[in-house]
Structure 1
């Protein structure tokens, strides 16, 4: 069975490691001057070389010519470690061996001398998965380790490791690789494999890998099995199921022009073409991030990874947006990307979060902040009531009918502040005022995700701020689903309904009918 490319081209010496020079130099010097630690912690994102460097360090320690910064790769020890069958280098997956019994077993065996090699090396992968009891058992051997034992622990979540363990390790933080570093390494692998692939396709792979060399090599292998045909960027996008740059650009342009028909059509194509919606959200985020940076200062284009053609297109597109609107769109896209981790309702989630961005504010966008602030000051002066009247309204609360009469004004104020928030708030219905004086707004159970969005502190603050401006009274807001039996649970609402509503009004409210 042929080896996967990421295993076939795994670095065997420190010189072959890509992008972690700060770690490589430190470890080589410690071996050169015989300053060998008894415990190392390798922390960093996936696919950045933690396990690979751990194996190279084990070879350097046990090489027949070692300890040496350059293992020979020819002695029995080096060859066995490379093949994963060394008796004295034990690799453990902490995710499946996370209990105290497994660590006790390690502690007892660690006291025994190596069978053949100079050091007994334990490589514990994903060490943060150990239980608290297992960490306590490991701590004992780390406090008083035998001279012949070296622990190398790797983790993607160092914050989960107890400080008592961290304080006894030499910690090395692995960084994500840059796109240029990944592209250079992929080009070498493609050349050795005799494959024909363009630089644009390699850059696309590096972009999708997000700094992980292992992920990028796996994507490259996926493309190379296609055939002998040269793989360009367009073919790579189709094979990997990614939206094209032109597709992303067209969608962003439609959004800038408030062209809902075009935007909705493009959303439907995402699912018809079998594209990954979460990847589309990431591409949009990257696109609007570039737009925001170029809108703020076009000179930023000098440090962005853009071709001249892409730069010219983005500069032209920035004319469709204000900085404020770009920030709102990016906020919404961040929420969308997070929601799309569960792909069960991806079409509905994308439509509900993206379509409101196509709704143009009445009177156009407010570009200057000063006029808006001036208008708000006027409203505050206009709404100021005599002191006695204001106290009276605060003591007795505000009548629900007054809230309903001026609710459209609240929606208009919210829309000026944040268009997407107004679109969500418009789905809510006024239920009443509960016994704690809170304005209760209900949403259908099918829109429960909107309820969660409205309850987020920034959105709730905007709603309550505009309510105070319109009614002149600070009224807290509570959001519920329509299935909540709020009227029965809150006597104040119940009594108001009985006193203020006639039988005909109650029948119309619940869409019922009178039985004889």
Structure 2
């Protein structure tokens, strides 16, 4: 077996293809352009805060900025990359560009050392640049020690802070820096850069393969280059899609299309067979379900959007296949599938039997009945009305049964406001007010529910509380834990334990004054369906529409 040259060390793609000028930074044009303009117009701040996800170019941009400031031809927006200062900065050996790891140099003693060194002039360049990575890891004491230096730094010092968690940095530090927010890099931009690397390195890989790598990198250019390195180590100079699926645990678009076909065709048996096969391959079920949900979303987008390619990040061949699959289906069906599978994905997070949960979820998704058009529903309602009769009678047996079921609970818990029973004593009424006040402090939501309540009957051992409102409020108060709490508060106020029961207060109806002219009624009020609804829900028409 041939041995490698021990004097030559392998350089990973992330280092070998690290950008050396602002133009090479991918996906951060809003930042690189601003920095270049600031250098060109000599409007450079003394402190910068670079925030954003990992692997999107924060530290790389900091190094390029340091090169631009200390270049022999600079300060310049385009460092030469050939002078000693540029070469040393790129190699990380420049004495004027100090890179500090905030995670391991986080204490106040490290910041005190830094404050001592900033006093000294740069050795070879024009500026001393301090790059502190993961600056959010510094302690509060360290941040406080840094404040004075940040507020009045020496003219030759530039601070560049990089962080993935800007919310952890004190506002006093934020206010002394110019903040630049780095964003996740788009999938197509990562794939294009990977294509450039593979072409120059002589690596053969399909566009679908590069898209898989870019998707797995989740917006991180560095992660994508590391994954490409890993794929080359596994497959050699010719990377197959199957190899990438094995390395990344990714789901191929062909698999997702096949599963979506099964869902659209309501082929439960075929789906269960596919799940069994994927499990034998070691596929993660949550990742698989998330992939199917994303694919259904992509189908919805391709069906609705005029230019789905701008929203769905897929290679051209996969995008064409997606559009083809969306043909012949409808958005309503896809939305129902999306909702159903999203619930299944949530259930998988906590399920001890993920396979069973997914299988049942897929069968349920296949069994979803289509929604009926609104016009058809209205037509069926008219037909039902005709069958019930046109006379507007309210003694129909089915209507009576519905009314009895709907009002059963309320009737069993109802007392009138006037009350046929003996009224409460004034002392008990005052005591109930104190109990309510204490309840609002202890459990505000329950106290609010009983706001319109009062004692309607009382004895030495019991209180009957009438609630003006709905049966829901009675149910809430009548729960065991709620009643126990209220009885405990009553014992504290009254000095003895009493039994408390709750009833719904009926609203008293006052006779309407006679009018000289007959009251106008709309035809809707005479409708038997409207009358039955008013009766069941104890409602009234507030402002009937004019029929003139």
- Of 245-254 and 188-197, more deviation after overlay is shown by 245-254
Give me the whole-angstrom Cα distance separating, in 2, the residues matched to 1:232 and 1:274.
Answer: 19
Determine the structure 2 residue equivalent to 1:183: 191
Determine the structure 1 residue equivalent to 2:208: 200
Matching of residues 152-191 of structure 1 within 5 Å: 152-191=160-199
Determine the structure 2 residue equivalent to 1:314: 326
Determine the structure 2 residue equivalent to 1:482: none
Contact kept, 8 Å, 2:293 with 2:338, in 1: the verdict is: no
Give me the whole-angstrom Cα distance separating, in 2, the residues matched to 1:162 and 1:380.
Answer: 63
Select 2:341's aligned residue among 316, 329, 347.
329
Select 2:369's aligned residue among 364, 372, 381.
364
Q: CA deviation at 1:133?
A: 2.2
Q: CA deviation at 1:169?
A: 0.7
Give me the whole-angstrom Cα distance separating, in 2, the residues matched to 1:476 and 1:259.
Answer: 45
Over aligned residue pairs, what C-alpha RMSD do you find? Answer: 3.9
Change (3 A) 1:209 1:152: same
Give me the whole-angstrom Cα distance separating, in 2, the residues matched to 1:5 and 1:54.
Answer: 19
Contact kept, 8 Å, 2:19 with 2:60, in 1: the verdict is: yes
Q: Partner of 2:155: helix, strand, or coil?
A: coil
Matching of residues 236-275 of structure 1 within 5 Å: 236-257=244-265, 259-275=267-283
Select 2:88's aligned residue among 68, 72, 80.
80
Change (3 A) 1:355 1:25: same
Q: CA deviation at 1:4?
A: 0.8
Q: Partner of 2:326: helix, strand, or coil?
A: helix
Q: Partner of 1:190: helix, strand, or coil?
A: helix
Q: Partner of 1:359: helix, strand, or coil?
A: helix
Give me the whole-angstrom Cα distance separating, in 2, the residues matched to 1:218 and 1:336.
Answer: 33
Contact kept, 8 Å, 1:47 with 1:214, in 2: the verdict is: yes
Q: Partner of 2:262: helix, strand, or coil?
A: helix
Determine the structure 1 residue equivalent to 2:467: none
Superposed CA deviations along residues 329-379 of structure 1, whole A, max 9, x for unmatched, are 23543x368x3xxxxx8872454366235236999354557959x89xx99
Change (3 A) 1:117 1:350: farther
Determine the structure 1 residue equivalent to 2:98: 90
Q: CA deviation at 1:114?
A: 2.5
Q: CA deviation at 1:250?
A: 2.7
Q: CA deviation at 1:266?
A: 3.3
Give me the whole-angstrom Cα distance separating, in 1, the residues matched to 2:140 and 2:341.
Answer: 43
Q: CA deviation at 1:261?
A: 4.2
Determine the structure 2 residue equivalent to 1:463: none
Determine the structure 1 residue equivalent to 2:413: 391
Superposed CA deviations along residues 85-137 of structure 1, whole A, max 9, x for unmatched, are 22221112212222222222222322232333322211111212222222222
More helix by share: 1
Q: CA deviation at 1:154?
A: 0.9
Determine the structure 1 residue equivalent to 2:353: 348
- Of 119-128 and 345-354, more deviation after overlay is shown by 345-354
Superposed CA deviations along residues 408-437 of structure 1, whole A, max 9, x for unmatched, are xxxxxxxxxxxxxxxxxxxxxxxxxxxx9x
TM-score (norm 2): 0.64
Contact kept, 8 Å, 1:44 with 1:174, in 2: the verdict is: yes
Q: CA deviation at 1:150?
A: 0.8
Count matched residues.
Answer: 402
Determine the structure 2 residue equivalent to 1:286: 294
Contact kept, 8 Å, 2:66 with 2:129, in 1: the verdict is: yes
Q: CA deviation at 1:11?
A: 0.6
Superposed CA deviations along residues 241-294 of structure 1, whole A, max 9, x for unmatched, are 322222222333434455544444433434421234453243223202113334
Give me the whole-angstrom Cα distance separating, in 2, the residues matched to 1:387 and 1:202.
Answer: 64
- Structure 2, unaligned runs of 5 or more: 1-8, 385-398, 416-445, 447-469, 488-548
Q: Partner of 2:123: helix, strand, or coil?
A: coil
- Structure 1, unaligned runs of 5 or more: 340-344, 394-435, 437-468, 478-485, 493-516
1:29 aligns with 2:37: yes
Give me the whole-angstrom Cα distance separating, in 1, the residues matched to 2:128 and 2:286.
Answer: 45
1:209 aligns with 2:212: no
Select 2:127's aligned residue among 119, 138, 146.
119
Give me the whole-angstrom Cα distance separating, in 2, the residues matched to 1:227 and 1:363.
Answer: 43
Matching of residues 496-511 of structure 1 within 5 Å: none
Select 2:72's aligned residue among 24, 41, 64.
64
Q: Partner of 2:226: helix, strand, or coil?
A: helix
Contact kept, 8 Å, 1:322 with 1:367, in 2: the verdict is: no
Contact kept, 8 Å, 1:125 with 1:153, in 2: the verdict is: yes
Superposed CA deviations along residues 23-82 of structure 1, whole A, max 9, x for unmatched, are 111111111122221100111122111110000111111112221112122222211111
